[in-house]
Amino acid sequence: MTSRAERWRVALHESAHIVTARAVNSWNCTASARVSDTGRGVATMPHGLTRFADAVASAAGTYGEESPFEAPARRRRPPLPPAETADGIRARAARQCNEEAAQANFAGARSDDEAVAAYCISLHPGDPDEWVAAHARVHDEAKRLTWDLRDEIKRVAMTLFHRGKVTLKGDPEHDQIFAAGAVASGATMPE
Domain boundaries, the chain: 4-183
On whether the CB atoms of residues 18 and 10 are closer than 8 A, the answer is no
Q: What does the pLDDT read at residue 180?
A: 44
66-122 residue pLDDT tens = 877 776 766 556 676 777 888 877 777 776 776 666 565 555 566 888 889 888 888
| Residue partners of 44: CB distance under 8 A and separation at least 6 | 18, 31, 32, 33, 105
3-state secondary structure of 83: coil
| Residue partners of 85: CB distance under 8 A and separation at least 6 | none
Supply φ then ψ for residue 63, to 5 degrees: -75, -30
Q: What does the pLDDT read at residue 107?
A: 56
Whole-prediction pTM value? 0.73
29 class by beta-carbon count within 10 Å (0-12 exposed, 13-18 middle, 19+ buried): buried
